[in-house]
Chains A and B, each alone.
Chain A
Amino acid sequence: MRNLVILGAGTGGTVMASHLRKRLPRGEWAVTVVDRDNEHYYQPGFLFIPFGFLRKKDIVKPRSKFLPKETEFIQAEIDRIVPASNEVVLRDGRTVPYDYLIVATGAEIVPAETPGMLDGWGDTIFDFYTADGAEALAAKLKTFSGGTLVVHVNETPIKCPVAPLEFAFFCDACLRRHGKRDKVDIVYVTPLPGAFTKPVAAAALGALLEKKRIRMVADFNAERIDASARKIIGYDGREVPYDLLVTVPTNMGAEMIERSGMGDEFRFLPTDPRTLRSKKHENIFALGDATDVPASKAGSVVHFQSEILTENILRAIDGRPLEPAFDGHANCFIEMGRGKAILIDFNYETEPLPGRFPFRVFGPLPLLKPSRLNHWGKLAFRGIYWRLLLRGRRIPFVPSRMKMTGKKRPAAAPGA
């Protein structure tokens, strides 16, 4: 019996188990999945919790429920990977040997990376990247009477790079609905030079921030937070005062990767961006937020990667060359509030562009432009996630490699 071991039963780990259990002969291969808990969160749902649209219980299900039959699920803390002996050591001392290993341990927020951030944690400083953080923020927002609300991105890369923008748009929409928009200044603080990493989308999203009277402070890198004075202090000496700080702290990979001596400075696993194999170890692969590939850390990316990674692992097992097929494809809905959303579709080479995204049945979805159809698409995705995506079924209409069909490059955009 040979062993395929998957570390992490989030989106990536679960999809890979679904794909590979189908493709690896049962008599020859055991598939084992390790995770420290049995709570699978639908992470795109976190954004909706602070505004009372969803609650924690609406977006969590047991991880084990989504793993295919004849998969062993070990619920335990991982201590480290030992590539030299092809085994994973668990915290309780057990070892799990592997022939092939998939690292899908994701990324997490690490507020302790910013001096002072934890001083105001849960008081005037909140996150919405964890279910508990989002619930605490929901309670805080209910009683927030007015002042300066700062939405802050501490350092890139972060999971779902558009989530803080969505959060700011939602704040604007909710405050307007309650007639309190004039009592709150919304400020968007980012280490990036604009609202997004790539120029065309940065211009479009920047214009929307301005239209919604959300002030942007760009190129801002926080050195520390003075929680008692309620201000963020930048390395360049600039200060941003706040009454309520909603921050996306530094995102890092699992500590286990660092304990294994395998991570980069963010604890992400150095991974070939096209084949998704570890840059160091032939029988270790990775996908999703755990890797250092320069693609978005987003569920859609994991989904696209999973199809390519499945083929590459089967190739590796058969001794065939890997196919460098992953193109960095991401496909994200950006909620704007008031029942509208923006859709962006892009990859390593092609930045998000305006135009139309081909979508049978409902007709094409507008790209880089607010629309009701996109909002419905985002809402429908929660069901698709549990029912299709985790089970490794094809998502209708969205191919794993990006297509240019319908996209229009503005004349001024560089790099045609």
Chain B
Amino acid sequence: MPLKTYGNTTVDVDAEGYLTDFSQWTRTVAEAIAAEEGFAALGPAHWKVIEFMQKEYKENGQVPSIRRLNKSGVASTKELYELFPGGPAKKAARIAGLKKPEGCV
């Protein structure tokens, strides 16, 4: 299992850079992953999405789909694409320290 160091925190990640142990996640790690993904900074709207995803994951073990985020009222699909350009579910999940959304087979 690869390791990755963000600042002074070392975390376990999978081949695509998703955390494999959520207990290692901190806000600082999230900000470092965001920087790696090309975000200048994470604003309150980003955090709202990230925290909702983490809450959903804790409650039912699944990374929520974009449709779920949209329906929950956290952010519309359009807003999600503006907040996390190029793949909101994947990028937000990675920053949130969750596994890659399954996208289903």
Contact = CB atoms under 8 A, between A and B. Distances in A.
A249 interface: no
A50 B104 CA distance: 26
Interface residues of B, number: 20
A294 interface: yes
B15 interface: yes
Contacts of A157: 103-105
A64 B60 CA distance: 38
Given A192-B103, A235-B78, A265-B68, A270 B60 contact: yes
A219 B105 contact: no
A270 B64 CA distance: 13
A155 B68 CA distance: 13
B36 interface: no
A247 interface: no
B86 interface: yes
Nearest to A298: B105
Interface in B63-105: 65-68, 70-71, 77-78, 80-81, 85-87, 102-105
Nearest to B64: A265
A294 B60 contact: no
Given A236-B85, A236-B86, A197 B77 contact: no
Contacts of A264: 68
B60 A236 contact: no
Nearest to A295: B105
B77 A235 contact: yes
Contacts of B65: 265-266
A179 B70 CA distance: 46
A200 to B, nearest CB: 12
Interface in A172-194: 191-193
A265 B60 contact: no
A357 interface: no
A221 interface: yes
B66 A221 contact: yes
Given A219-B86, A223-B77, A236-B86, A156 B104 contact: yes
Contacts of A270: 60
16 contacts: A161-B104, A192-B103, A193-B87, A197-B105, A223-B77, A236-B81, A236-B86, A265-B67, A265-B68, A266-B65, A266-B67, A279-B60, A294-B104, A296-B104, A330-B105, A346-B105
Interface of B: 14-15, 60, 65-68, 70-71, 77-78, 80-81, 85-87, 102-105
**What are the 4 A-B residue pairs with the smallest beta carbon separation, nearest first?**
A157-B104, A235-B81, A414-B15, A265-B68
